[in-house]
Amino acid sequence: MREIVFDTETTGIGPEYGHRLVEIGCIELVNRVETGRTFHAYFCPDRDMPAEAEAVHGLSHKFLSDKPRFHETCEDLLAFLGDSQLVAHNAAFDFGFLNHELGLCGRQAVSLTRMIDTIAIARTRHPGAKHSLDALCSRYGIDRSHRVKHGALLDAQLLAQLYVELTGGRQIGLSLAMDVAVPLTAEETRIVGGIARPVRVPRPHAPSAGERARHAAFVATLTDPLWPKMGEPSAALVG
């Protein structure tokens, strides 16, 4: 299962007020394990940067002035996103800006059915608690000491760790399922949770004839066993 955790930085609170997307950061997860693949880009918004927004993310008009426009890199972004589920914190905000920018360059909006909102998950798991990214990282012991200002890629990396914790913790990557249905040999490897692992041929678990004989000899030594009083054992119990 492939998912993309992403975050955005903008010039303000909403595209309906003339604000634009200026940064996006994406982290790829496969079976809730980071693969190391990321996408990150800055965009020139073709407008000023309000002081209150710059105070949050530190991206100035001067810094962004020589960056590409969204329409110049949107094909690379869409290729990275593919058809995966998209995870964001307060996802309606990020989807709103992403789809606004896609609309401006004539591209189809990303369906909201692909949206996974970690704030909604957190509210269900921790009702009445604080649900900011900082507060949730503190709750789950996720190190954010290097987060001086907001940054799309950095925040996406923190959110990827948080998402894993909110949806079951690190053990969820220990999937026993294989994506293939072909005979396995001891020399093969398979991708499990985004990691190449050696495949071991399953050993047989049925008892051998010798094991059955030793078991029968042991049972014969028991005095006053319990099971005759409970009726005949089923075939499943005696193997």
Mean pLDDT value of segment 176-190: 44
Exposure string for 96-110, b = 16+ CB within 10 A, e = fewer: bbbbbbbeeeebeeb
Set 89, 100, 131, 150: catalytic member:
150
What is residue 215's three-state secondary structure? Answer: helix
How is domain 2-173 classified at the CATH fold level?
Nucleotidyltransferase; domain 5 (3.30.420)
Instruction: Kindly report, residue by residue over 9-38, the tens digit of the pLDDT.
Output: 999 999 999 999 999 999 999 999 999 999
Stronger pLDDT, 14 or 186, i.e. the higher one: 14
pLDDT in tens, 116-137: 999 999 999 999 999 999 999 9
57 is catalytic: no
Q: pLDDT tens across 64-122, in order?
A: 999 999 999 999 999 999 999 999 999 999 999 999 999 999 999 999 999 999 999 99
CATH 3.30.420.10 positions along the chain are 2-173
Name which of 32, 27, 14 is nearest 93 in CA terms. Answer: 14
Strand pairing class (85-88; 2-10) = parallel
Reported confidence tier of residue 171, pLDDT bands at 50, 70, 90:
low
